[in-house]
């Protein structure tokens, strides 16, 4: 994920040929064991995906809701008596409506708020720590920010619920006490260290020669950072944003506690929101296994998984292309 220094091209086909010898049995066994462990984790991911997809299948493959005979429509809107269209997530209603629009909107809203706060903070901190801070400051700031990544999300969520809510409502005058903004700020605390750590690594990986060359050509430090170092580290910085997005959209506990969980479709960040993750967490505990509601919750999981997968994949491609262009691949 991070930008790496240009590799030295090997002179001979195998520079370590003289060190080669037949591996001992112990080494071979160790290698085999490690390979098995690595493959196990891959197998686990594939199996989890297969399980989730299997449970969600009735929703996507033309299954019907209960005995009504109508197929699942996760995007259908409902026309109210007063003529306005509404998207409703009402899984325990009679009859139930499974409309995921409010949940998708909620997840995206909270995630964007979190990135909007965490990205500038994380990247600016990374630039400062990597390029400007002295050794002592660096040794203090870097571990402190990274420590934030170790705070359990339930603790951040509780902090958001008890402390942030009152503060946010007083400062911004939000309509609801628990809202997307509060949850987003809490989420930013969890996402910031991710963005910081990866961006900082990317900046560190920019070859020192770039900096000395820039300084030798007469640029000052700010010019060096803005025109040379940051552009060279851009693929890594973008990668940090992609990973930060994935962390934010998949986070459950913070949004569950601090967002109020009302499934409202609204552009405002001052009202309560219900995210995909919080919905799964709140409702999966009591659904009857094999029911429509159960399958729809797994469909939600699939949507979540697919969206992060596609984003990671697309991000990877963009970053790879950028690296090639910059010659840091």
DSSP string, 33-66: HHHHHHHHHHHHHHHHHHHHHHHHHHHHTT-BST
Q: Which is nearer to other proteins, 120 or 290 (CB)?
A: 290
CA–chain centroid gap for 101, Å, is 20
Which of the 8 DSSP states describes residue 224? I
287, 100, 112, 79: which is closest to 187 by C-alpha? Answer: 112
Closest distance to other proteins from the beta carbon of 174 (Å): 11
Bridge partners (DSSP) of residue 86 are: 78
Q: Which is nearer to other proteins, 281 or 311 (CB)?
A: 281
Q: Which is nearer to other proteins, 102 or 246 (CB)?
A: 102
Using an 8 Å Cβ cutoff, are 304 and 281 in contact?
A: no
Closest distance to other proteins from the beta carbon of 279 (Å): 9
Closest distance to other proteins from the beta carbon of 43 (Å): 19
Rounded to the nearest 5°, which phi and psi values hold at 238?
A: -65, -40
Q: Which is nearer to other proteins, 156 or 161 (CB)?
A: 161
Closest distance to other proteins from the beta carbon of 190 (Å): 19
How far apart are alpha carbons 122 and 204 in whole angstroms?
15
Closest distance to other proteins from the beta carbon of 273 (Å): 10
Q: Which is nearer to other proteins, 68 or 166 (CB)?
A: 166
How far apart are alpha carbons 297 and 280 in whole angstroms?
6
Q: Which is nearer to other proteins, 92 or 216 (CB)?
A: 92
- Which positions lie near other proteins, rule CB under 8 A? 86, 88-94, 102, 161-162, 165-166, 175-178, 256-257, 260-264, 271-272, 274, 282-283, 285-286, 288
Closest distance to other proteins from the beta carbon of 27 (Å): 13
121, 177, 164: which is closest to 145 by C-alpha? Answer: 121
């Amino acid at each position: 994920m991070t930008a790496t220094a240009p590799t030295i091209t090997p002179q001979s086909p195998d520079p370590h040929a003289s060190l080669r010898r037949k591996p001992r049995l112990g080494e071979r066994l160790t290698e085999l064991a490690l390979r098995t462990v690595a493959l196990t984790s891959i197998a686990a991911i594939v199996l989890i995906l297969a399980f989730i997809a299997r449970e969600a299948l009735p929703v996507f493959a033309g299954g019907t809701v209960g005995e009504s005979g109508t197929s699942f429509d996760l995007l259908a809107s409902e026309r109210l008596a007063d003529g306005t269209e509404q998207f409703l997530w009402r899984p325990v209603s009679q009859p139930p409506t499974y409309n995921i629009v409010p949940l998708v909107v909620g997840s995206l809203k909270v995630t964007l708020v979190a990135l909007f706060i965490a990205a500038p903070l994380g990247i600016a901190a990374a630039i400062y720590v990597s390029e400007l801070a002295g050794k002592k400051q660096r040794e203090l700031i870097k571990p402190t920010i990274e420590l934030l990544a170790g705070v359990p999300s339930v603790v951040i969520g509780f902090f958001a619920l008890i402390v942030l809510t009152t503060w946010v409502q007083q400062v911004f005058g939000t309509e609801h006490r628990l809202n997307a903004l509060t949850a987003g700020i809490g989420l930013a605390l969890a996402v910031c260290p991710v963005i910081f750590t990866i961006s900082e690594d990317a900046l560190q990986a920019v070859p020192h020669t770039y900096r000395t060359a820039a300084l030798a050509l007469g640029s000052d430090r700010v010019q060096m950072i803005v025109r040379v170092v940051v552009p060279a580290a851009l693929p890594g910085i973008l990668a940090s944003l992609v990973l930060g997005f994935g962390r934010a959209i998949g986070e459950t506990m913070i949004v569950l506690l601090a967002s109020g969980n009302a499934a409202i479709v609204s552009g405002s960040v001052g009202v309560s929101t219900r995210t995909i993750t919080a919905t799964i967490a709140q409702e999966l505990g009591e659904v009857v296994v094999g029911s429509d509601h159960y399958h729809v919750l797994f469909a939600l999981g699939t949507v979540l998984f697919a969206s992060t997968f596609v984003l990671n994949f697309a991000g990877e491609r963009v970053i790879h292309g950028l690296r090639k262009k910059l010659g840091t691949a």
